[in-house]
Amino acid sequence: MSREINTVGVVGLGTMGAGIVEVFARSGISVVAVEVTEEALARGQATLVGSIDRAVAKGKMTPEQRDEIFARVGFAAGFGALHDVDLVIEAVPEQLPLKQRIFAELDQVCKPDAILATNTSSLSVTEISVATTRPNQVIGVHFFNPAPVMKLVEIVRTVVTAPEVVADVEALCARLGKTDVTINDRAGFIANALLFGYLNQAVSMLEARYATREDIDAAMRLGCGLPMGPLALMDLIGLDTAYEILDTMYRRGGRDRRHAPVPLIKQMVTAGLLGRKTGRGFYTYEGPGSPKVVPDELTAPPAPASLGDSAAIATIGVVGSGVMARGIVEVVARAGFDVVSVTRGEAQSSAVAEAVRGSLAKAVVKGKLTEEEQGAALGRVTWSNRLEDLDDADLVIESVVEEISAKKAVFAALDEICKPGVVLATTTSSLPVIEIAMATQRPADVIGLHFFNPAPVMKLVEIVRTIRTSPETAGAAAALVAALGKNGVQCADRSGFIVNALLFPYLNDAVRMLEASYATVDDIDYAMKFGCGYPMGPFELLDTVGLDVALAIQRELYLELREPGFAPAPLLEHLVTAGYVGRKAGRGFRDHTQ
């Protein structure tokens, strides 16, 4: 049976430390909040007071509750005040020598049975523990920022942490109302090991000028439903902190290049561009600590209107009969364009028509569309099973099966049928657009328009230009996307574009983590949902997308980049071979048959 912890000490009262103090005090636990100097103590106290006062101002806490919380917190300069606490949590900067020095002092000050915990997000808990004479009582307790809001705590045990210490901390987290995952001591633990490879890759995209910072962030927010884009999140975390975490994981985690800090990060740290806390990082802020972004010299000017004019586009062809093609037909028709929907036969054409009518009817029931608008949208659609009916279209969107030979065949036919100057767009999510374009005699007119599923709901479209795409074609495509009410993000023709190139390596990393038996499917999903605010955990998402789809995209990324870290996880390949491909098969990483 775990013992009850009644008094907790917190060392370090920066943003994280002050948040941890608040978490314990709100839960009715007495806290001794410690800093090394009176000045640092005053700053930490001001941080805590500010957070609590904001909660009162927002009506989330009464003045009486605020007074009760403050009554539970004692502030002290120096470690001597921690002599009688049951547990101490250290929350100082991510520097191993500093943490080891603090733990050596805590070992001398704290009572013999006190638990010594570190809030480190990436350093070795084992290396910290050996600075004490009680390594069996040292444990990692990794809260996430902001600690009062985020539900996850990673409990990190070393090879010598006593089982009863783990049990005591697990029980404590339950009292705090947190979701905990208990794992072994490994670089980055769960959340940071998965998160920072993704963040690092996003910076690499920016460094290579593959896409703008705004488009990278918008792509991941709108395409994946993430609470923040990767570059904005780096600014929030702090580029210096991010660099230290990446460097630690690279050195301790097998020197995987996905964790080797991109040179741009070190350059920005050296230049003092640390993110929100200094008022400038990837974005410029109103002032140090402010979340408000202000224009700067990198702010992209609006595209000149002369580059594209959707008014010149009256009729749009959509080729394909799958879910994506059906969604695009609906989106285009609802936006006021005439549509020619082309499929391979009468049966497919009827299926697309039925699906579009059903979707529009649902929109009417939900109040998102009037019956008049429904009728007008359907009246704009012509159903056909002949590509020749696209001879008068102003723009054609291809959405056939994701196979290069099938797409090239469609584009070769369109090249013969469509009038000169017509924009030919492919909805491919992973294939090289240039290879599709070169199946025509007009590669300057070919562009990628990657819609996301379901197309009527998702607001993002990736506009993918090849090295042969003309400015006029890119401008017309961007104008069309805006006319459809979508957010267009522009990028060059590279495997995975923005979203898939960042998303699927992260999912592959999660499979590798499971493959290594480091954590369970549930723990990894909990870590990313409750620790990072993701709408779905990686395995939930893989089962939804389809393991076969994920494997195909990851193979394309690996073939193009040839980086070992992008090689598909063997476990993913084995599951797909065995037919475990996710929800559509009833079984993936979880059983969906029940």
Active site residues: 121, 142, 154, 192
Q: Give residue 160's Cα distance to chain centre.
A: 34
Q: Between the CA of residue 567 and those of 188, 367, 551, 563, what are the distances in Å?
A: 20, 46, 10, 7
On whether the CB atoms of residues 474 and 449 are closer than 8 A, the answer is no
Query: To 5 degrees, how large is the angle CA 548–CA 486–CA 324?
Result: 35
Whole-angstrom Cα distance, residue 481 to residue 460?
9
Whole-angstrom Cα distance, residue 377 to residue 353?
12
Residue 151 sits at φ, ψ, to 5 deg, of -85, -15
Helices (H) and strands (E) counted in the chain, each on its own, are 22, 18
Tokens of 116: 């010594």
Residue 14 sits at φ, ψ, to 5 deg, of -75, -160
On whether the CB atoms of residues 134 and 116 are closer than 8 A, the answer is yes
Q: Bridge partners of 32?
A: 9, 74
Whole-angstrom Cα distance, residue 30 to residue 19?
14
The amino acid present at 275, given as its one-letter code, is G
Map residue 473 onto helix, strand or coil: helix
Q: Between the CA of residue 129 and those of 144, 154, 181, 531, what are the distances in Å?
A: 21, 17, 20, 24
Whole-angstrom Cα distance, residue 282 to residue 363?
40
How many CB atoms sit inside 10 A of residue 453's CB? Answer: 13
Q: DSSP assignment of 503-536, as one string? A: HHHHHHHHHHHHHTTSS-HHHHHHHHHHHH--SS
Residue 288 sits at φ, ψ, to 5 deg, of -55, 130
Q: Between the CA of residue 266 and those of 52, 234, 242, 246, 247, what are the distances in Å?
A: 35, 13, 10, 11, 10
Whole-angstrom Cα distance, residue 33 to residue 75?
5
* CB-based burial, 470-484: b 16+ in 10 Å, e otherwise: bebbbbbbbbbbebb
Q: DSSP assignment of 128-144, as one string? A: HHTTSS-GGGEEEEEE-
